[in-house]
Structure formats: structure tokens, C-alpha cells
Structure 1
Amino acid sequence: MALRDDTGTCPRYPLRPDQPAIYDHPSYPPRVDYAALYHDDGTTPPPDHMVLHPLHISGPEEERVSLTFFADGYVVEEEGKFVADAQALTDDIVSPGGAMGHVSRLLNIYAVFVPSNTSGVGTYDQSLPGAAFGLYRPGPELRGVYVRHHKRARAACRYWREEVKEGGCDQAILLGNDPLYGGLGGEFTVITASALNGPLVLRHELGHSLIPVGEEYEGGFAYFGDNSDKMAHVDGLKWKSFLTLPEDVRVEDAKVPLQEYPWYNLTEGPYNITFQSSNPASKHVGPVGFHGSSEPPYPTALLRLSLSSIPQPGHINLTLNSRHIDLSAGFPKSWAGSKDRRWVEVPLEEGLPAGENVVDVRLTHEGTEEQEGEGGKMITSLEIMEYGGEGRFNNSLGFIGAFPTYSMDGRVTLRPTNEECLMRKVNHPTLKKSLLGKIERKAKDLIAKQTP
């Protein structure tokens, strides 16, 4: 990852060393606090020729939280496209079942068109010439999208928040004119116009922006806030008032024997990895199994992976211990033929055998012949979760308890739900119940601060 400021120089040491300026994880968009990395004296002017388009207005500006989309990589002739892209994203989050649907009455959402000289988003650490805010990808991979002209973006938000009587801007959302996955969290929420992934990234990053919550996916390190707690706190969890069984709190029994972020281009050859199941090959299991049972201690599992530039399930062959795994569930009709990044989940109803297991992923003949999309024919992430049997793991819909999350260094923290939150599962549409009220309280706090 290469960060540059408006003059092309690298960041100096953070101005606020007590706060991490960069959270980077190989699976999801990074988060960057540009204000901590670069000094800003506030003299940078906002862009010229900005045009305001209201998208969702629920009340007076001083009594609402304003989310504002700003255009990057849209030329003058694409103003209509920008407004349509921003409106589609707005409709997704404020719909009754959307991530912000429960607080839509407290939100005003705007789109501000800022013309660029070139259409699209830059790659290989280079912004496109004349881009409004200089959005760029560090390489070709469908992952992070960074901001070159962050002082200008900050000035644009400040202009609509403080200098004019129309519009507003409590949270800037920089919308890049690119049809594929990518984004950034932190001071600015950066997303792309990907019809398939834009809403997913927006929901996730707004969750971070509006309330102090960390990640919930495996193999990370930014576990903090209202959706994370220590193992030692299992009897006094932050979300104890939401627990389904407050009188019988336990840590649900789940293991993660495989957790990798390869970002490997399959055109270079097959990808394979060997790992050990959590099911013991032990005489204590034998014919009567675990605790007298005939089944192994972890009888079921879930395979999760993400891919990019793989438009059809027949273009890839994944085997587990030489057995073909059907990935067609990750290729719904709405994503047919897309070379965007996609998310695949396959239940392993028979779990994993004890001992050594091998996953092998390779292109088929059809996959090899298919023209490569941006970023390459990648397997970007791969993980397997194993679930305890004999009632030791509660996967009931709506259940709130204490679920283990395994960090990249082996530490274990707890989260409230299994897979029912977009902070863990990027393609889940909503936040968990225990966080919804905190979003509303944060919105009301912001309104109170700006009300005379």
C-alpha cells in the first residue's frame, strides 16, 4: 500500500500517535485517518463547479445527520450517471430492511457532483489526470481505493457543512466511477459504483464511521468497540442486555482450522494448502467418539471464499481432499457473468475428517480460456469454520450469545452473533440488533451537538 498526499509525498508520522492511523486487512477495504497522517492548515479550497442533488431528505438540516456523496472520476457528461449511482446506494441503505433503515428518519442524504477531466479510477498508485479527489488503487487488485486529494475532499465536506445554507456534510462518501469492488474506511468512506459490491462496502464502512465498532471476521486484528469483548468478560458482556439466554451464558464452540488471504492469481497455476482439522485422530474418540458420542467433536463446517474475475462456476474447480465442491451457490443469476469480486459459502454437512486436509483450487479449461478481468483471476480469501456438536454450538437465527473470533495472532475475542451482522459477513444486509440502537443514539448525539 502506497499513500501519497496532494503533492505526491509520503505521510509523516501520525500527529495523534495514540490512535492508529491505518487499519489494514487483506480481505476487506482498509481504513485510513488522513487527518492523523498529514497536517492540514485548512487553507485548501473546495473544488469548483460543485452541484448539489438532494437524495433523501427527512427534515431540517440542523435536526438531521447528513451523509453526502461526492463524485470522483465522473466527467461532465456523466453527471446523470453519478446521481443515479448515488440514488441507488441511498435506496439500499434507507430501505425498511436496509442497514440504516431504522434511522432513515434522522438522515439527510445528498449527492454533490464534482466534474473530473477523466472517467474512472486510477491504478498502480496513480490517480487519473484531473480527477476531482484523485481516487486510485495501489495495484490492479479489487481491494483498497485511496484518496490523493484528501485535503480537497475535507474542504468540500466543510463547505457544505459550514459555508452555505443548503445541503450539509457530517460524513463524506467519495464515490468512484468504477464498476468493480473497492473502497476505504476511516475519515472518508470511499466506495465504487459497483452495482454488486458498492452497497456492501457502503453498509460496512458506514457502520465503522457512525459508531465505534471493530471487525468481526476471522484473521483480523481490529477487534474493539461495542461488538467485541474479552473472553474473561463472558459473564459481563457489553451486550448482556440483549442476550437470548442471559441465565446461561457460554462461549459457543467453534474452531477455524483454515484462514488464509492468498490474493493469488490462478493463471499462474493451481493454489493448494494443507491444514489440520480440529477433529482429533485419537484413541479417545474411537468408535464411541467424543464424550461417548459416535460423531466427531466438530461434525459440521462451513467453507467460505472470495474470488475475482471468475464469472462462471464452471471456470473454477475446488476440491477438498480430492472431492469436488460445488460452488454454484456463489454464482446467483443477479451476478451472472460478472468479473467483480464475489463471495461464496458452502456448508460442509459432514464436517472435516480428522488429521490432515487439503484444499486445491484451479482454473478449468473454460476458465483458462476466459479473458481476464481487472485484477486477475484471483482467489482472494479462503477459510473453514468447524462447529461443535451435541448442542455445543447454537446457530439458531436471531440467537445472541458469545461467539469466538480468532485474530491473526491467535488471540480470541467474543462477538454477539454468529453470521447475522454486516461487520462480519460483508454481504449481510444489516447490523445486529445490539448495534442498531447505538446507531440511533449516535445520530441523535450528532444532531444535539449542532443544535443551538
Structure 2
Amino acid sequence: MVLAPWPSVTTLALILGLVGSVRSFTHDAQHPLRPDLPAINDHPSYPPRVDYAALYHDDGTTPPPDRMVLHPLHISGPEQERVSLTFFADGYVAEEEGKFVADAQALTDDIVSPGGAMGHVSRLLNIYAVFVPSNTSGVGTYDKSLPGAAFGLYRPGPELRGVYVRHHKRARAACRYWREEVKEGGCDQPILLGNDPLYGGLGGEFTVITASALNGPLVLRHELGHSLIPVGEEYEGGFAYFGANSDKVAHVGDLKWKSFLTLPEDVRVEDAKVPSQEYPWYNLTEGPYNITFQSSNSALKPVVSHGSNESPYPTALLRLSLSSIPQPGHINLTLNSRHIDLSAAFPKSWVGSKDRRWVEVPLENGLPAGENVVDVRLTQEGAEEQEGEGGKMITSLEIMEYGREGRFNESLGFIGAFPTYSMDGRVTLRPTNEECLMRKVNHPTFCPVCAAALEQSLLGKIERKNKNQGAKQEP
């Protein structure tokens, strides 16, 4: 079995065409304004984040694109008293201006609707769409931008993952134009919207998303969370854990979010383990994919309760992501040779789509002690289905195990101290189990802690905006 490795940060430096010592563009490369953060932040499952301004010198002389057209989408008040999010078109030809505006409006409605991720702060936001015509429709692949693309968005390969910016100086100039050079519109956070129907994106200086009806809103919410709050990750396997939603285990008695705790008088680190986490990016047309791992139940003796043995971790969750698998019957997933029905994990709105999808399977009886085997392979029907962009991929697979009652609280709405395991084994704490889009990309809203931090951050941005404007007007 040959695995398709996900790009390392060093590989990302090469993908981005950086010149000079590659060593300077590893995790140790620092953002000039945030020395605690790297300029390139990569994770094998989600879109990377790149701060182009920290990697490339820009003297500010690059002109903005010609023929830009402004379309207001959500205006809540005067520009000076709001934070402006601005969509810029890439890969939309002149005849697709209407499509671009409709795509941007749908994304706007998703985040600022009353139940949306930013509905509670919609009064602080102005949102615009700026159409910039491209000569070719779509987004580039295999490290090549399409000819005449406004900002040169491209995928480094066929996989449905990162989408990068070739003409980042032009994108920066476009945002600067609407922020500083004209009286209409604004641009505090640029969002580059690629005309592509499938998953992909980028975080950092530019929020890059695609027009995927299923995944575009998911990527937008998550990456804006990083850009606007800012906070780090909540999912396992990363390395950037910081901000309002992250704290050290040693601080469990005095957490950053102590005012939000459901049981402030009884705070503990919830007992959850991650015995396996894999990011194979493996094309199942090459053959089956399988992993073998030890259950966390193997390390502890069962608890005797009322005459029966109870596993220390009686329940578990299997989470995986797939691409180009449109039907649940196209793959056969087994755990210890037992078939797992995925029908319930394929929402009706997603059935038939070859976009990247997120699958969760509760394991109500947990995992047996000892060795466990997960096997994923195409069925005959799946093998015969025409392959979509990026291949019939299993892109990630992880197993979580949860402690028994009294050691793990899975109640909806519960805010406590949940462990998160980094790529190097360090443990940090987060406020909720699975109820925040910063952890679970397909969750529709922020947790209360992140939601409050977002509001506070936006108010701070507006205050600084007013101070800067006042300083410019002083004689």
C-alpha cells in the first residue's frame, strides 16, 4: 500500500516558490507582528494558513487590478464603525459576475443569519463583494494558476485541500484600494473566492475559499475564526494552540473561560483518549487502507461495578473524511472485521456529491482491549463509479475514546476542560467536547467562549480603526 503523504511545512515552502534557505520557512519561521506564531501553519486535514506578508517583501507599488466592481452584500452601519469583510473574485470570467455575486451572497447569508456563526455580531460587520474578471473560469491545479486568473489561485496537486495565492501582492493592493483609496466600500479582511465547486482553501493574511456549496461555508467560518478572533486550533494533531479557547492543563483551576464553566465548583480534565489519528490522503483505487492500533482500554483494568466489568472507556467515536465517495454503499468500512453501516453518516443533502465529506460513527459499545483493526476499501459499486477530482480518497481517520460516567461529561452545552492532543503529544485544554466549529469544521457555530471572544475582538478592531483615523486627521 502506497500512501500519498500530506505536504510538510518545508514542502509548502517549496510549493509557494520561496527562494533561499528552506530552513527559514519551517515551523520556526515567525510572523513579524506575532513572534509566537509561525508564518506557515500546516495541518494534514484542514486548509493550511500562510502569511504571505511575512514571507515576501512588498514595497507597496503593485497596482490593484483593473475593472473592479463593488457589490454591497451586508451593510450594518458606517464603515468607520464596522469591520469590513470583502470577497474578491478569482476564476470568474466577465460573463460570470452574477454567479460570483450570488456565491458571495450565499456565503454572507450563511454567516450573518440569526442562527449563523456570526449572527450575534452581524451588527459589527459590513460585507462586500468585489468582482474582478479573470480570463479563464476555474482554479488552477498541479501548482499552476489558470491563464489570466485575477489573483492566480491554484491547488498544488489534485487533492481537495489547500488553495494558494500566486498574485498575493495584487490581492493585497486590491484590499488596500478599497480600505484606503476610495470612500465607498472597505476591506479589513480580504476573502479570495475561487470559482471551483469543490473543497479547498487557505487561512492567514488572506482567507481563501471556493464556491463549494457544501464546504465553502464550513471553510469560511473556520478560517475567519482564526483571522478575526484570533484563536488557535481545537482539533487533535496540530501545534498552534493559543487564544481564548486554549489553556494549559496546569491552569485547570483557573481557566481563561472560568466565567463560562457549567460547573465552576467542580472542574476536572475530562477523560478522553485518542488511540489513533491518521492522515493518509490515500486513493482507495490503489487497494484497501487499514490501520492497527491499541485501545486505551488495554492499559487499564476493567472496573467491577454491581458484579459486572465495565471498561474504563466504554464509548468511542470513529471520524473520517473522504473525497469522491458519493454514496455510503461505495465503501466498505469494518472495525475488527465487523461491517459498519455508514448510511446515517451521509446526510441527504450530501448524497451524490463527490466533494470532500466528513463522516462520524458513534461506537456505543466502545473498543475491546488489545489490538483493533480498521479496514476501508471500495465496494464493487464504488470501484465502478467514475472518479472525481482528487481521486477516491480517504483523507483522515481518527478514533476517540471516552471515559465512563463520572469521568467524562458528554452533555450538550456543557462547558468544562476537555483535552486536546498536539502532534508532539502535548496536551492542552479546550472549553467544549464537539460543540465548536474551531474543533469540528462541520459544526455550524462557535462555542460560547469563541463567540464572546469574536465579539470582543471585533469591538477592539473598530476601536483601533477609529484611533488610527483620528491620528491621520491630526494636523
Distance 1:290 1:14, change over 3 A: farther
Distance 1:185 1:231, change over 3 A: same
The Cα of 1:426 is off from its aligned counterpart by: 0.3
User: 2 CA distance for matches of 1:422 and 1:51?
Assistant: 32
The Cα of 1:15 is off from its aligned counterpart by: 9.8
Distance 1:165 1:383, change over 3 A: same
Distance 1:432 1:320, change over 3 A: farther
Please give the per-residue CA displacement for 1:294-327, whole angstroms capped at 9, x wherever unaligned.
2100000011000000000010000000000111
The Cα of 1:19 is off from its aligned counterpart by: 3.9
TM-score, normalised on structure 1? Answer: 0.92
2:427 matches 1:412: yes
- The 8 Å contact of residues 303 and 312 in structure 2, kept in 1 or not, is answered as no
User: 2 CA distance for matches of 1:440 and 1:341?
Assistant: 39
Distance 1:350 1:294, change over 3 A: same
- The 8 Å contact of residues 303 and 311 in structure 2, kept in 1 or not, is answered as no
The Cα of 1:435 is off from its aligned counterpart by: 11
Between the two proteins, what is the percent identity of the paired residues? 91
The Cα of 1:436 is off from its aligned counterpart by: 12
User: 2 CA distance for matches of 1:7 and 1:263?
Assistant: 22
SS in 1 for 2:325: coil
Distance 1:245 1:45, change over 3 A: same
- The 8 Å contact of residues 140 and 154 in structure 2, kept in 1 or not, is answered as yes
User: 2 CA distance for matches of 1:435 and 1:290?
Assistant: 51
Distance 1:450 1:196, change over 3 A: farther
The residue that corresponds to 1:440 in the other structure is 463
The Cα of 1:390 is off from its aligned counterpart by: 2.9
- The 8 Å contact of residues 31 and 37 in structure 2, kept in 1 or not, is answered as no
> May I ask how many residue pairs the two structures share in their alignment?
447
2:146 matches 1:142: no
The Cα of 1:222 is off from its aligned counterpart by: 1.1
The Cα of 1:225 is off from its aligned counterpart by: 1.0
The Cα of 1:18 is off from its aligned counterpart by: 5.8
Q: Which runs of 5+ in 1 are unaligned?
A: none
- The 8 Å contact of residues 263 and 380 in structure 1, kept in 2 or not, is answered as yes
Please give the per-residue CA displacement for 1:82-124, whole angstroms capped at 9, x wherever unaligned.
0000000000000011111001011110000000000000001
Distance 1:6 1:320, change over 3 A: closer
User: 2 CA distance for matches of 1:386 and 1:6?
Assistant: 36
| Deviates further, 435-444 or 121-130 | 435-444
User: 2 CA distance for matches of 1:425 and 1:448?
Assistant: 41
SS in 1 for 2:420: strand
Q: Which runs of 5+ in 2 are unaligned?
A: 1-20, 446-453
User: 2 CA distance for matches of 1:97 and 1:63?
Assistant: 23
The residue that corresponds to 2:397 in the other structure is 382
The Cα of 1:408 is off from its aligned counterpart by: 1.2
2:297 matches 1:279: yes
The Cα of 1:391 is off from its aligned counterpart by: 1.9
Residue among 367, 372, 395 paired with 2:410 = 395
The Cα of 1:329 is off from its aligned counterpart by: 2.2
Please give the per-residue CA displacement for 1:262-318, whole angstroms capped at 9, x wherever unaligned.
1000000000000000002766xxx85489862100000011000000000010000
- The 8 Å contact of residues 300 and 312 in structure 2, kept in 1 or not, is answered as no
- The 8 Å contact of residues 67 and 169 in structure 1, kept in 2 or not, is answered as yes
Distance 1:186 1:302, change over 3 A: same
- The 8 Å contact of residues 143 and 181 in structure 1, kept in 2 or not, is answered as yes
Please give the per-residue CA displacement for 1:394-425, whole angstroms capped at 9, x wherever unaligned.
01111110000011111111000000000000
Residue among 334, 353, 374 paired with 2:368 = 353
What aligned pairs does 1:279-298 form with structure 2 within 5 A after superposition?
279-280=297-298, 289=304, 294-298=309-313
User: 2 CA distance for matches of 1:135 and 1:3?
Assistant: 23
SS in 2 for 1:432: helix
- The 8 Å contact of residues 21 and 37 in structure 1, kept in 2 or not, is answered as yes
- The 8 Å contact of residues 102 and 436 in structure 1, kept in 2 or not, is answered as no
Distance 1:204 1:447, change over 3 A: farther
TM-score, normalised on structure 2? Answer: 0.87
- The 8 Å contact of residues 183 and 201 in structure 1, kept in 2 or not, is answered as yes
- The 8 Å contact of residues 103 and 440 in structure 1, kept in 2 or not, is answered as no
CA-atom RMSD, angstroms?
A: 3.8
Distance 1:8 1:140, change over 3 A: farther
| Deviates further, 304-313 or 436-445 | 436-445
- The 8 Å contact of residues 6 and 150 in structure 1, kept in 2 or not, is answered as no
| Deviates further, 204-213 or 442-451 | 442-451
User: 2 CA distance for matches of 1:322 and 1:440?
Assistant: 59
The Cα of 1:212 is off from its aligned counterpart by: 2.0
User: 1 CA distance for matches of 2:149 and 2:264?
Assistant: 53
- The 8 Å contact of residues 15 and 37 in structure 1, kept in 2 or not, is answered as no
- The 8 Å contact of residues 277 and 356 in structure 1, kept in 2 or not, is answered as yes
User: 1 CA distance for matches of 2:27 and 2:231?
Assistant: 32
Residue among 446, 449, 452 paired with 2:472 = 449
